[in-house]
Structure 1
């Protein structure tokens, strides 16, 4: 073995919250881990909050507590969600309450960079983790190991390759899996605002004309906008100056939080549904957006990916002593453990998107009647909250 040829138990390809969480969790479990990813970009000096905000569920909080990341976060920059109000086409409304569901909070609103920088710091001090700030460009899977060639010229050997490299995953492409993709022809427009009225730790969501508008609470009276808009409309929103964007959002949200002052630029990201026929192959497992892509209307995509990580770590650390980390029998346990969660959330988010995209008065009447029915069923609402918490 040369100086440029190194051996690991696991190589994680891809950074972001999911890949770095996987690398840290596996390293903390005593496995030698290679992470092929870039460090988090520095926070822009003029940005009050990140453009990318996540609503983290109880399952995600539990994973970060297990990794000792949650305890290291600046809690002044976290915002709990105690209530959620969802509005239909007309006057229909659903109200979800942490108090009624007997949970501490429905979610935590967290900036992406806050967690990613904490993960970076933990990985730098993790003796079982080696960081390669480059990209993978060659994969050879053999019976005894997988060999990963890096753009830097280094060659890594690992028992298992974990693909956490996003919706256009290079690792997944090497597996040759069937990818079923549905373009929603929508773009998620994100921007942050200072609200005139207090948000009361409440998340708001409006379904309007086939589009979904959400305002998520941030510290110090700020809110984060996530507007799933038709792509042409999204381009128009992103091109608006601050004053016109403020007016558009105030109108779309019926001035629920009063006047809004834009703090930072608006950004957009394309929305699509993506499913694959298998999560694993010999010596390969996929997690996060590499494994599934769902509509953000429920804010559950990141939570789903982090539950992939928790399940994979549990399966690998519970393996029999005689079994190899890349054994397909072992990896199938991970795949089976994720099937129901991924399938149910994919069906729910895609179904809701299709339902609210149907035009016409009849469809609107059915939607509002359905919301009213759910709102009148406390047990159903508690089940929905439980599912969202993971």
Structure 2
């Protein structure tokens, strides 16, 4: 390496759960890691829950335990999902059960910031990790290192740069990875509510008129809303006051949870499908939303990104002693290993979104006939559960 301010084995550019998981896994693997990110901000004063909630699959749970982070998360704020009920746009219903699938739970529901703060605490105890509170401005790939120029005027070098900087990834742009993006013309509206009736550790999802409404269980008889709404409708929902929004959610869910009280302000984020033509380049690898973006209807976006982390860390751990961390031959093993998983979820989520967006009586009948068929096939249901568990 050439002489610069600081040198590392890996530089992780971007925070969030996926970037911090990558940084922690790599530094626990004995590497010197720079993390270009900031610690998670605390919840606003008086806030009961973080509005952004994730359903973590078995594969994510396994990674968190492997990194010894799950044990540090406040168990009182975690909710297991033992059942999931999915309703079509008629009378059709699918029921997925952890008991029938012979698993402990289908997923764990947790606030994004809750888990991210556990990562922050773990990262601060890693002697081989350096937090860098400055934005990357330049990325130059040299024969012996990736050289990263920072906004504060300093420069760092690393054998490998990991882009974990989200859907509009700066790192991805630097390596010229081409993006295919299709806007769903939908917005994900999220908010949390206190429910009158117990949720019974069951997640619910409704497909209705091209939109998808999900209620996920939270502790202490609370539920989390994820409403994938047409953009114009989402704008209307986001303008409602908390009482009006609660009343509208009660209406579309047929008061399944009784009276709802909104406890976090509603937020919205645009929904899109996004794929890239390559996940790696010499000395660079992409993970998480920088590598793919899918519809949230199956709640698998963050789990897909965390499986990127697991795959990258495993490839690095198994590399030959003579091979450099930034060797393109090594990084292509990671890329090949991730293609099938990413493609399967892209096809599944995009296909379901398209299917339930088609208007008309015939399309509705076809959808509900298909749901009824799947509901009557235990082996198919078990395969679907296994796929979702990762």
TM-score range, shorter chain: over 0.9
Correspondence for 1:144: 144
Residue 219, structure 1, aligned to residue 225, structure 2: no
Correspondence for 1:94: 94
Task: Choose 330-339 or 41-50, whichever is displaced more.
Answer: 41-50
Q: How many residues matched?
A: 390
Correspondence for 1:356: 356
1:114 CA displacement: 0.7
1:37 CA displacement: 0.8
1:4 CA displacement: 6.3
Is the 8 Å Cα contact of residues 4 and 157 (structure 2) preserved in structure 1? no
TM-score by length of 1: 0.99
Correspondence for 2:163: 163
What are structure 1's unaligned runs of at least 5 residues?
none
Is the 8 Å Cα contact of residues 4 and 153 (structure 1) preserved in structure 2? no
- Distance in structure 1 (CA, Å) of the matches to 2:332 and 2:247: 51
Is the 8 Å Cα contact of residues 12 and 163 (structure 2) preserved in structure 1? yes
SS in 2 for 1:330: helix
What pairs with 1:167-246 in structure 2 (closer than 5 Å)? 167-246=167-246
1:247 CA displacement: 1.1
Is the 8 Å Cα contact of residues 39 and 133 (structure 1) preserved in structure 2? no
Is the 8 Å Cα contact of residues 14 and 37 (structure 1) preserved in structure 2? yes
Write the deviation string for residues 76-96 of structure 1: whole angstroms up to 9, x where unpaired.
000000000000001100000
What pairs with 1:373-388 in structure 2 (closer than 5 Å)? 373-388=373-388
Write the deviation string for residues 88-109 of structure 1: whole angstroms up to 9, x where unpaired.
0011000000000000000000
1:194 CA displacement: 0.6
SS in 1 for 2:256: coil
Write the deviation string for residues 264-291 of structure 1: whole angstroms up to 9, x where unpaired.
2100000000000110000000000000
1:45 CA displacement: 1.7
Write the deviation string for residues 113-168 of structure 1: whole angstroms up to 9, x where unpaired.
11111111111110111000111000100111110011111211111000000000
Correspondence for 1:82: 82
Is the 8 Å Cα contact of residues 6 and 155 (structure 1) preserved in structure 2? yes
What pairs with 1:294-309 in structure 2 (closer than 5 Å)? 294-309=294-309
Write the deviation string for residues 197-245 of structure 1: whole angstroms up to 9, x where unpaired.
1100000000000000000000000000000001110011011011211
- Distance in structure 2 (CA, Å) of the matches to 1:315 and 1:188: 34
- Distance in structure 2 (CA, Å) of the matches to 1:34 and 1:340: 30
What are structure 2's unaligned runs of at least 5 residues?
none
SS in 2 for 1:85: strand
1:18 CA displacement: 0.2
SS in 1 for 2:336: helix
- Distance in structure 2 (CA, Å) of the matches to 1:18 and 1:246: 32
TM-score by length of 2: 0.99
Task: Choose 97-106 or 142-151, whichever is displaced more.
Answer: 142-151
SS in 2 for 1:100: coil
